[in-house]
Chains A and B, each alone.
Chain A
């Protein structure tokens, strides 16, 4: 990932302008962007309905939430709303996945692309103090974290980016109507990095099993991961939440929780570009990236396929090739 060149303010202004114009011209009913949260360490999704409110929109390296999640089936309110939204590189890939499968109506969308230079791993940053973190600021290559006592710590930006940002190949949106600001330089090295995944793969089976059990022991089955997932769209009809038929047990224990998570993983296979929204939504910090990034690594090896890159591509599990290089015998 390239070092930040710090044009966040410019991009922020551009997002506001584009949102304002779209709202004024009536092209959208509302615009979804990012806005300030309960304190200066949080940036949250924000819905703007009128042009005079667009100044509430912000753009900075804390804008983690993938807003495409608000487009998935049954999520838009009202269902026929014309929606404007801002997407980062990875967010746009989930949008492309949805468009490939015709799960959202392109005609009712206005997409503002936001070139992204990496998002701060807020979770890791907030752990540098035991008490409350009230402010996170990013300037050039430094992250300043302030706690409720007013103490500040400086952290290296590179080390506290989300793991998938550090190995991001597509910082610029793959699909948009207008781009807010200049496209950032895409990394030279186009080989994706799977360092964390390879480290995990190298462990003995029994150890992997133990770590999975440990991770999923604490799952509380709140279903934040699937509801925050932009490409997991069964919504109220999810098999895991269904009472009838009861295919996934209501019991909460490591085994059932992992089974539930596998339902999620396999249902989004080929659509999920590892945007990490599930990972960040998890209130108990289960390392879900170990599953979805592993899946993408395998898809890349199996079919040389990366989800959400090309609008014209057919979803990989809805098609086949007689010459697929596996399972010949």
Chain B
């Protein structure tokens, strides 16, 4: 463990920026906190706990160009074509049909494809353990099981990314990482963990990448009591979060309650936008489209979300999740039931952004409390879910 004095922070960022793009939380023109590429002199904000969006965009881009393509004329008459801009007048078909001269290629269209590689070395600085855990969980989808699943676009960026996380000293009321196996000082996916204490940060390297970062000259050895101070910060933050639900049994609960009418009540105020999924550090659904203008275009991958009407629309015209409640149910079931069945973790890291930035503040905790209880447990008096105490609305209806 090392110690980074507060006055060395900017020097450390500058040091990192020498060899990589540094992405850190900064306020925009409207005072909203986002992860943005850092330039010397820019003010980094660590006081506010969470950025508006998770930093997943830097690895799993909202718009990612896979490749660019276009058709071009080759061979005889290509030059002529150029001259009139690809448009042949109907009056002169003879010229086009004339046999090519000896050794000359006949006119033909050639498809040209250019792949796009865009995976710069980058350091995501000051993200929270829940954001880092988002990457950790997405990694399984895009490169998990020893590469059994492998997405070269995601993985190229992920492998070029170092995560420097910051322990949350003061969780918000919407935080619930401790309920989903996380912690305000969690280390999943983290390369270097900083913990704010008096006068600076303690730094723990968790991977080789993180170890390399400690080579920066501004680090001091931890002084007496500094390690303990960091531990106190971590413990206090952990204790500050009252887990709003018991995660054991939630997958079974969602399975048991699949047809529960409470889904209909809980989704009433959902407006079927995609805010929750786009601010989420874990949601990874995407769509691939060919964007063409005339004879050239791009193949792009864009974020998609399960509230999008086209998300499950089949070619036949049938849409298995045509109704809003089904889309709503899918989001929670995917995070807490389908995904854990396929992979070895949940698809939620408890940052609470979906609660806070939802236009109608739909509360994931309320949904899980209401519908994540297995039927077997129902028989016994279940007081535990009420004890959560965050906001004592039950989900049935008001």
Contacts and interface: CB of A to CB of B under 8 A. Distances in A.
Given A35-B398, A38-B355, A223 B273 contact: yes
B31 A127 contact: yes
B224 interface: no
Nearest to B301: A250
Interface residues of B, number: 57
A101 B31 CA distance: 39
A285 interface: yes
Contact of B398 (A37, A48, A222, A224): A48
A44 B361 contact: yes
B72 interface: no
B357 interface: yes
Contacts of A283: 52-53, 275, 278-279, 357, 359
Interface string A1-15: 000000000000000
A47 B268 contact: yes
A251 B172 contact: no
Nearest to A147: B170
A284 B49 contact: no
Interface in A257-284: 280-281, 283-284
B253 to A, nearest CB: 22
B265 interface: yes
B273 A220 contact: no
A305 interface: no
Contacts of A218: 28, 32, 34
A134 interface: yes
Chain B interface, >50% SS class: loop
A251 B291 contact: yes
B140 interface: no
Contact of B268 (A77, A226, A287): A77
Contact of A242 (B275, B303, B310, B322): B310
Contacts of B310: 241-243
Nearest to B32: A285
B173 A148 contact: yes
B324 interface: yes
Given A38-B355, A132-B172, 11 more contacts: A131-B47, A148-B173, A224-B271, A224-B274, A227-B359, A228-B273, A228-B359, A235-B309, A246-B291, A250-B63, A253-B63
A1 B256 CA distance: 53
A106 interface: no
B275 A222 contact: yes
Interface string B384-398: 000000110100011
